[in-house]
Amino acid sequence: MLFNQTTFLGIDPTAGKRPLTYTALNQDLNILAINHGSLEEVMAFIAGQTAAIIAICSPSQPNLRLMQREEIRQKLIPPPRPGRWMNYRVAEYQLRRRHINIPYTPSEENDCPRWMQTGFKIFRRLKKMGYKPFPSDDGANQYLEVYPHASYTALLEKNPYPKNSIEGRLQRQLVLIENDINVTDPMRFLEEITRHRLLTGTLPLDFILSSEELDALIAAFTAWRVINKPEKTTCVGDAQEGQVFIPVAELKTRYQSVK
């Protein structure tokens, strides 16, 4: 079966000027790679794959202003109030109304933050390499847009702790373990904390992945799930503008904020 040879990649460009983070899983959810590199290094890694489903933690393109079209607005549940949400993407409206905060995507590429512009470049490069937007019956190489915060929120059924906090990283790493990804048990971090370590500032942080690595891994897992368990995935947004895929069968109406 073709998908037995498929690599499932997650790419996180949100570090901005710093190297991109990219991860790879195989069909059995074993980690093949957790790396950091330039855009060229990431593309070289992708070029070395026989077949790949690639999830990118970025919008695929600038805002197309679809939310300014009344026929689009009236199809949404619930329809936004007149004059509201005019400059958001459809996916952004659908997530924000559920209390899942997602960055706003401007309509002009030059107005977008650097990490989004890098994401646009990745999507364009993949198209030139012959990749198709998921879902596609045309070939084994496909790409999709993901938003890690939404994925973790949906899997936890509430908003997680902040991604860069110790508790947020612990929480996200536990989510990966709960979904059969073979990362180190982050509870070892707590077992290794002693009075001496706290006083000397030598906490065992090597047991915990960085927020960028955790985001890239949940992206790779989403790529795996849309192929292997499509009934446990959903998406928001408009296909013309960009759909965000999330590794749960259905989204709740509202997610509780972290306290």
Token look-up 């400059």 returns 87
Torsion of CA 25, 31, 37, 42, to 10 degrees: -20
Paired residues of 36 in beta bridges:
21
20 with 11: CB under 8 angstroms? yes
Q: Is the pTM of this model over 0.85?
A: yes
First-to-last C-alpha distance (Å) of the chain = 46
3-state secondary structure at position 132: strand
Tens of pLDDT along the chain (259 residues) come to 455 689 999 999 986 567 899 999 999 999 999 999 999 999 999 999 999 999 999 999 999 999 999 999 999 999 999 999 999 999 999 999 999 999 999 999 999 999 999 999 999 999 999 999 999 887 789 999 999 999 999 999 999 999 999 899 999 999 999 999 989 886 665 655 654 455 555 555 567 899 999 999 999 999 999 999 999 999 999 999 999 999 999 999 999 987 6
Residue given tokens 């979904």 in the structure block? 179
User: Phi-psi bin for 234: left (phi > 0), alpha (psi -120 to 50), beta?
Assistant: beta
